[in-house]
Amino acid sequence: MALSHKVGQQRVDDLLYRKLHRMFFALCIVLAPLALILWFGLCPTGANDAACPDQASSLAVFAAFRAMNPQLMQIFLFLNLIIPYLYPLSYVGLGLLAMKRSPWLATLGIICGFAAGVVWGVIADSITMLFSMAQISLNPLFVTVEHHYYSAWLILTFGAFWVVGHLFGYVFLGIALLRARAVPRWAAWLIIVSAPLMGPIAYPAHLGILQIFGFVLVLIGSVPAAFAMLRSRD
């Protein structure tokens, strides 16, 4: 009796931690694009800035950060805090859904997305620095500092990881989900289509609104993915 009770309890514990894992990744899958929608929506430099802020920083950028509503700025800074944790894990969650039937594409998608997601630690640092300098004064010297900061090879490399990583990550994972039939076809296609919209179209056009719309597509496609994660038994 004691042995059967122990085995039964172990099975309950096993089911519980698996359920918690699924809930955790389902939340990351949905909350990550939602956080990016809010981040670009709250960007102090507005809808005409696809990079937020553009690397060609000017006193106008500092003035925008200085003039932003303090409460909204705190929300914006909080998003910078949570995105580096949520975003890489959202790619892992999407990849796990397709891993069984499309392992190579799912793995490539996770690698690209993770490489892009961890860059948000650097982005959060640059935003905090810009905000702090803007609160001190509108000093032209700060613009020079920003130019040197964004032109450093290390920051340019991180920027390349972000742009290439998150776009190819969504393409690879969208195709993997499509091949694995892990989500409805329309959901996988929304994730795939979001990539060219947020990259090759948004950046040359300097339209941050296209970034928002791209992540809206990801969010819509991620909702059935989150439900699929919750239903998963693998």
Task: Measure the CA–CA gap between 191 and 221, rounded to whole angstroms.
Answer: 6
What is the total count of domains within the chain?
1
Do the domain assignments include residue 2?
no
Q: Is 143 within a domain?
A: yes
Output the pLDDT for position 140.
Answer: 86
Whole-model pTM: value is: 0.89
Say how many C-beta atoms besides its own lie within 10 A of residue 193's C-beta.
Answer: 17
Please list the pLDDT of the chain residue by residue as tens digits (234 residues).
554 555 455 565 567 888 888 999 999 999 999 999 999 999 888 777 778 887 556 788 888 888 999 999 999 999 999 999 999 999 999 999 999 999 999 999 999 999 999 999 898 988 998 899 988 988 888 888 888 888 889 988 998 999 999 999 999 999 999 999 999 999 999 999 999 999 889 888 878 889 999 999 999 999 999 999 998 776
Task: Give the domain extent around 201.
Answer: 16-231
Distance CA 14, CA 54 (A): 48
Is the residue at 11 inside a domain? no
Contacts of 115 (CB under 8 A, 6+ apart): 161, 165
